[in-house]
Amino acid sequence: MSFVDRLIAPLSSAARLRNGVNLLERGRAKEGVAEIAHAARSGSSEAQYRLAQCYLDEIGVPQNVIEAVRWLTAAAGQGHVDAQFRLALIYARGDISESSVANTPSTLFSHEDPSQAAAKEPDFCTAMIWGRRAAESGSSEAQALLGYILASGPLALRDLAEAETWYQRSADADCPQGSLGLGMLRLQTATDDDSQTKAASAVAKAAAAGLPNALTLLGALTQVGIGVARDLPAAAQLYREAAEKGIRSAQTCWGLALLNGEGVERNVILGETWLRRAGLGGDAHAAALVGFLHAKGGDLAPNYVEAVTWLERAAELGHAGAARALGQLHLVGAGVDIDPNVAAHWLRRAAEMGNEASQVDLANLILSGQGEPEDHAKTRHWFERAAEQGDLTAAFNLSVCLAQGVGGARNEREAATWLRRAAEGLPTAQFWYGRMLVEGRGVPSDEAEGRIWLSRAAEGGLVDAQVMLAEMLVNGRGGEKDHQRALDLFRKAAQQEHVGAMFALGALYDGGHDIPANPWLAQQCFREAAERGHARAQLLVGQYLARGLAGLRDESEARRWFEAARDQGVDQASLELERLVTRAKPDGDDERAVSAA
């Protein structure tokens, strides 16, 4: 500070301002702010602007956005262009009611991923007033901000043509934000390759200036080949540059590139590290990816405890897929205790975020008797809404709710109506609709029609339909008997481990039907069912062995099967055991009937 300035400082606001700035530069912040404040109160617009900066940046005074705005308004009112721009920016970001000026929602003036910014309530109308003043005075940054408001602000303020004009003026002045805004606007309105190329060129200009969000966007364009040649190595490098500048979305993309080896040598450990960094910074997608990576295993050993930690972080940040995964982990007990109630909590969170698969998962959990009472009505509402839009799976689940009285009154007639609609495309619905027709539940009994629907479900590969239809073909319910077709259906179901079908095959081969008797095959089928716990099959395989009906007699093994059947409550097995003890050989008819029950 000159000798003259020291002499006139008590009187001159300009001298006080110079003295204050000098003190700030020398690290004497409080004294410097005091000098600047004197000059500001004397009406110096530059001092008012500088004082506002001190309040915003917490230099020599506590951070105070309200006080900063007061001084910026005073300076802006005197035509101070930088003050006008800064004031417009604060209103556009919604910082006027906050204690911090960080995390702007605008991609133009932020070094942060806009999708992760804290929710604020911008005042775009006031921002537009001050932004236009600064823009018309030649501020290239204000021109970019005005373009942003006109392009992305409230609908009532939008004017894409004027937005492009201001973006272009800003870009022509070599403002990176103007170039980025121009590129983003052109991408939104691009209709051909030429317009996409122009848009990408504007984004590239902003990226060349080092603007982090421009690097990220150019990386995305380069990755898929929009407006520029597709170049995975170049895209990866752009993501890396933006990631190192702190852009969370770029950190996620760079981590994924490393994980998948896209444009860069594959490095799972480093990729996971970058995803962790983004996740810790608040990127829900990155946190979910870390969770999925540890849950699935592969290159990294499965670590469900770690997976749960990251999935919970992602779910709390609003990632529906992570919430659903947590629900599934709590259902199977992977990394956590099995707890259907906690599972229902996470599935409910995911469902409320709009995840349709979670709505179905939660509904199925509720139908099994879990979940909270208030979930029932929601579940029925979700199914009804989706069913009315043509979702056949939802129509089926709605029919289950109606049939069981979940979320409302029980109504089998209405259940049958929705089941009929679902049966147009779902084998499961075809089976249940056919069964309702056969049993006369919700609709008049019609075994012939029921058999038709069971046949469709059986052709669709539904095992229960194959078995029920086969039983009707054996007994002639709903139409003519057809034992050969029944045999084929039972065989298909048995191949899919349906124990009742194995027993029924044994009964058909046992004789008394339109199938040639084959005692050896009958015994084999009964044995397969018996080994899987079928009580009557255990009785019959015991009878075959005790009497040598298939050619081989083995009373010791027969006794073992009779005991197994007896332990399951089959009274006939106790009689058979007594006969073995007395070595009696009864000639009476055996208990054999074709049934998959």
Q: Are 398 and 421 in contact (CB under 8 A)?
A: no
pLDDT of residue 108: 54
H or E stretch at 28 = none
Residues of the chain above pLDDT 70, percent: 90
H or E stretch at 585 = none
Q: Band of the pLDDT at 4, cuts 50, 70, 90?
A: very low
Q: Are 271 and 289 in contact (CB under 8 A)?
A: no
On the question of pLDDT at 31 being above 70, the answer is: yes
pLDDT digits (tens, 9 = 90+) for 535-547: 999 999 999 999 9
Q: What is the mean pLDDT of residues 435-442?
A: 93
Count the Cβ atoms, other than its own, within 10 Å of residue 208.
Answer: 13
Residues of the chain above pLDDT 90, percent: 72
Instruction: List every span in the chain annotated with CATH 1.25.40.10.
Output: 372-481, 507-583
Q: What is the mean pLDDT of residues 141-157?
A: 96
Q: What is the mean pLDDT of residues 78-106?
A: 75
On the question of pLDDT at 131 being above 80, the answer is: yes
On the question of pLDDT at 110 being above 70, the answer is: no
Listed in sequence order, the residues at least 6 apart from 191 whose beta carbon sits closer than 8 Å to its beta carbon are none
pLDDT digits (tens, 9 = 90+) for 211-224: 999 999 999 999 99
pLDDT of residue 109: 53
Average pLDDT, the chain: 88
Cα three-residue angle 18-22-28, rounded to 5 degrees:
130
**Tokens representing residue 275 in the block:** 């995803």
pLDDT of residue 10: 56
Q: By CB neighbour count within 10 A (0-12 exposed, 13-18 middle, 19+ buried), where does 582 fall?
A: exposed
pLDDT of residue 583: 62
Query: What CATH class has 507-583?
Result: mainly alpha
On the question of pLDDT at 111 being above 60, the answer is: no
In terms of pLDDT, which residue wins out, 589 or 58? 58
Q: Which of 120-124, 164-168, 277-281 has the lowest mean pLDDT?
A: 120-124
pLDDT of residue 391: 86
Q: What is the mean pLDDT of residues 7-18?
A: 73
Task: Tell the residue number behind the tokens 């006369």, with chain if given.
Answer: 440
pLDDT digits (tens, 9 = 90+) for 402-416: 887 877 888 999 999
Name the CATH superfamily, with its identifier, for domain 372-481: Tetratricopeptide repeat domain (1.25.40.10)
On the question of pLDDT at 105 being above 50, the answer is: no
Q: What is the mean pLDDT of residues 233-261?
A: 96
Q: Band of the pLDDT at 374, cuts 50, 70, 90?
A: low
Q: Are 581 and 475 in contact (CB under 8 A)?
A: no
